[in-house]
Structure 1
């Protein structure tokens, strides 16, 4: 048994050495969810690391559990996440083994919206327009953090509404139809999103603080990564994509560009900003 434990310990040490060596040699695996806004923040960082001479492999994930699992196993070196609220459960579970490297962007916001012409400004006023909305809040995919918060808001504010699960595409279609007809609708939305740029809507104030406040995108890694890979950490720390730019990238995607085309267009347009990153990372 002791021999077996020693063997396991030796293998673990070799894995950790290999993990650290890979990044130090100039290669890094960058992870992100395959969401438009996440990739709009992550891919400029990938391009910058490549500009700095690193070999980069970009890895996309379908959901947070898989992403955090891959980070734990060393399948990716760094991961873009929003640990304050969006992935707070995973962060709380693994935080003793993880570290924040830097903030990549700031201002993520999600909540309930109505068309700008609707004469209310707060969630606690929604019951006053319930007859005009059919008593429905048009939601997105069930099980998302946003939908959980909507359910909490219905209880906290004693809203006389039914939350309608569905899909993002269905929500967008209903919102667009209501705006064209100048009808009253209550739906879920988030920022950054091309929808906030295209649709004339407003977030409702949340006096009870049910919805998460503005959040940051963080680069996170396994504990000790920054000390072993100072060059990569320093390069990532200089990369900051303003939220309005993230919104523009997602808008370009909605207008027909691929994510790579949208990021490339942004990169070419913002060489002055990228140049500042280069100076700061030296």
Structure 2
């Protein structure tokens, strides 16, 4: 209960900060000369890394950038209503399918910024199980998940219904951080654990893990991470639009930053260091910016 209450409070505060940051921007945006940019993101390790990198690039171009963490559904809604300028955190076609269908008509879709993403149930490689259908009584019939509003949470709830052997299993929702903490503890103690997982993610570089086979294809196939912006951004802030439109990188790029953040580096510092070390890629993203 405490976790759920804190999660709701955090979502409300995040939305409040976002609305406050946007409240004075409308007149400037309509003139096309605003230097204020709001990027919304969901607090997954992947999206913390990618959003901070894009934010740093825009800051280096002279923009006043606000990065606002929000619940998944609120992130989509905020961009669709113009309360945020954009996001680089949309997982498609499966994870965010319901949000995409609900809000797509009120968004400008700029396409993928990373390919080869994946979601599913993940276990330490030392566990003697390879398929969701093979699960019986491991980990006390419990799957350790993340936020209740996440797409992978909805997919796991569907898996509990689709797989007969999971009929009496429980999904423990919490947060991305709590999930990786539980995973680290279980691995240290050589205990069984099943988590909702996705890649790219630093945990695959740090631990020996494997996805469980999903014969019913509940979690879908390969995913992409995509960029969306508010309607009118191209006309209001063409340079911001072009940077977001050109933004594209690899899982190796992303995991480099995630590992540094996991090891204790501040996300802004990790993003700044990456931008400085990858000027060639940044140049591609900014090539259409008017000098």
For the aligned pair, the TM-score class normalised by the smaller chain equals 0.7 to 0.9
Measured after TM superposition, the shift of residue 115 of structure 1 is: 1.4
Measured after TM superposition, the shift of residue 251 of structure 1 is: 1.7
Match in the other structure for 1:90:
99
Pairing of 1:70-109 with structure 2 (within 5 A): 70-82=78-90, 84=92, 85-109=94-118
Measured after TM superposition, the shift of residue 184 of structure 1 is: 3.3
Measured after TM superposition, the shift of residue 64 of structure 1 is: 3.1
Q: 2:165 aligns with which of 159, 167, 171?
A: 159
Match in the other structure for 1:233:
241
The RMSD of aligned alpha carbons is 2.9
* Residue 38 of structure 1 pairs with residue 47 of structure 2: yes
Measured after TM superposition, the shift of residue 182 of structure 1 is: 3.3
Segment drifting more, 242-251 vs 180-189: 180-189
Match in the other structure for 1:10:
none
Q: Rate the CA distance shift 1:276–1:34 in 2: closer, same or farther, 3 A.
A: same
SS in 1 for 2:130: coil
Match in the other structure for 1:186:
194
Segment drifting more, 243-252 vs 181-190: 181-190
Measured after TM superposition, the shift of residue 257 of structure 1 is: 0.9
Count matched residues: 262
SS in 1 for 2:248: coil
Asked if the contact 2:144–2:194 (Cα under 8 Å) also holds between the matched residues in 1, the reply is: yes
Measured after TM superposition, the shift of residue 280 of structure 1 is: 6.4
Match in the other structure for 2:56:
47
* Residue 252 of structure 1 pairs with residue 260 of structure 2: yes
Asked if the contact 1:41–1:104 (Cα under 8 Å) also holds between the matched residues in 2, the reply is: no
- Cα separation, 1, equivalents of 2:209 and 2:186: 11
Q: Rate the CA distance shift 1:140–1:50 in 2: closer, same or farther, 3 A.
A: closer
Asked if the contact 1:104–1:219 (Cα under 8 Å) also holds between the matched residues in 2, the reply is: yes
Structure 1: gaps spanning 5 or more residues: 1-14
Q: 1:273 aligns with which of 281, 284, 287?
A: 281
Measured after TM superposition, the shift of residue 224 of structure 1 is: 4.2
TM-score (norm 2): 0.76
Asked if the contact 1:104–1:240 (Cα under 8 Å) also holds between the matched residues in 2, the reply is: yes
- Cα separation, 2, equivalents of 1:77 and 1:57: 10
Match in the other structure for 2:37:
29
Segment drifting more, 104-113 vs 62-71: 62-71
* Residue 135 of structure 1 pairs with residue 141 of structure 2: yes
Larger Cα-atom Rg = 1
Segment drifting more, 261-270 vs 78-87: 78-87
TM-score (norm 1): 0.78
Match in the other structure for 2:11:
none
Q: Once superposed, which parts of structure 1, at least 4 consecutive aligned residues long, lie more than 6 Å away?
A: none
SS in 1 for 2:221: coil
Match in the other structure for 1:12:
none
* Residue 210 of structure 1 pairs with residue 210 of structure 2: no
Q: Rate the CA distance shift 1:185–1:76 in 2: closer, same or farther, 3 A.
A: closer
Asked if the contact 2:39–2:67 (Cα under 8 Å) also holds between the matched residues in 1, the reply is: yes
Structure 2: gaps spanning 5 or more residues: 1-24
